[in-house]
Amino acid sequence: MKALLLTNEYPPHVYGGAGVHVEYLSRALAQLMDVEVRCYGDQRFDEGRLTVRGFGVDETGFGGPKDLRPVFGAVQRDVAMAAAGTDADLVHVHTWYTHLGGILLKQTRGIPLMLTVHSLEPLRPWKREQLGGGYDFSCWVEKTAIEMADAVIAVSASTKEDVLRLFDVNPARVHVIHNGIDPAEYQARSDAAVLQRHGIDPASPYVLFVGRVTRQKGIIHLVKALRRLEPGFQVVLCAGAPDTAEIAAEMKEAVAAARRERPGVVWIEEMLPREDIIPLYSQAALFVCPSIYEPFGIINLEAMACGTPVVGSAVGGIPEVVVHGETGLLVPVEQMRAAPFEPVDAAGFASDLAAAINSLMGDEKRRLAMGAASRRRVEERFSWEAVARRTAGLYREVCRG
């Protein structure tokens, strides 16, 4: 069997969980079958049964609003990916950026289409800030691909419920396969030099956030909670890649306001490489994930694998990863039922986040026990080998028809 994976992100161009997912899944699948990855970029390498090919974009003929360029670039790349032909038995697409390529290959080559739902456009209305009218296209192509796919993989039970609620899909075609982690790579590793290089005091405990500056990740709510945090520890915000200039400006203003009221706020305005992120996870006293929408939250697995407990919002797939009272604390959040799906009581959510952080930062013994339990949970329940075996089994089932 040969599988063709289409993805926007692939190393070295990774900025989110979907890119991490495809990187590790493709390598694990290549231990079981031939795998070809087509992605955005200039990648080109062969490694055993894994082949990776990047596809570029030519924007010289693009006109119109700047926020539509990512959409037309996606269409151009998807057409090129499909036009390149394939000898694969099926095509497996990741994120709306590659859905059109999968649709074209299914329709023109007659091969099964599989789709992993990493997030859903109807539940991310803030994307209109980034894509303008292109958001209507991303919603349309996602709906079209999901409803015509031969199999849909949801990364959590919560995501499966969202798929069945929002789209016309036979429940028998929707399968839950959680994300995974490589426990051998993500494990506790101290390196004071990494902390010092990024302006963190190794002698003082710190709370850590890692993620993009986007509405989805709830970073603004966390920053607004900082003034409520007890003194005596640092807060490290490893937050880059803002969705828009507007949210970048909002973030700068919120961080400046927080720093006026509370010392010890360190903002690393970039997405760091893995060799730096692992020591940051490992030496953190606590990891915080304040997302208002999170289908799975692979970032929490990364922190837990490094032995760090998590304070996370109780949304999406996070409660399927973080066990309240055992590997961290979950903060309930009542959300608006319609766009933009923000917390009904944003000030209350920020206050509850601060209370949970203060509770654990004031109890080192409990934190250490939760960190050890976090590592055990990762080792026992999440691995890319298991994810690949389940995915390969679904491939075989779909190809048999």
Buried b (16+ CB within 10 A) or exposed e, 355-374: ebbbebbeeeeebeebbebb
Distance CA 348, CA 332 (A): 10
CATH topology for the 192-381 domain: Rossmann fold (3.40.50)
Per-residue confidence (pLDDT) for residue 263, from 0 to 100: 93
- Residue 339: per-residue pLDDT: 83
DSSP 287: E
CATH says 2-180+383-400 is which class?
Answer: alpha beta
DSSP 205-222: -EEEEEEESSGGGTHHHH
Rg (CA), the chain: 21
pLDDT at position 340: 85
Angstrom distance (rounded) from CA 373 to CA 205: 20
Give the chain's count of helices (H) and strands (E).
Answer: 14, 14
| Domains 2-180+383-400 and 192-381 fall in the same CATH topology | yes
Q: Where does 65-210 have alpha helices with state H?
A: 69-83, 99-109, 127-131, 134-148, 157-166, 192-197
Contact 212, 190 (CB under 8 A): no
Write out residues in the chain with pLDDT < 70, as ranges: none
Closest CA to 267 of 248, 286, 289: 248
Q: Where in the chain are the domains?
A: 2-180+383-400, 192-381
pTM, 2 dp = 0.87
Instruction: Please count the residues of the chain.
Output: 401
Evaluate whether 236 touches 207 at the Cβ level (below 8 Å): yes
Sign of CA dihedral 240, 243, 248, 250: negative
Query: Rounded CA gap, 211 and 105, in Å?
Result: 33
Cβ burial of 187 (10 Å; 0-12, 13-18, 19+) is: middle
d(CA 59, CA 50): 30
Task: Give ∠ CA 127-132-136 in degrees, rounded to 5.
Answer: 75
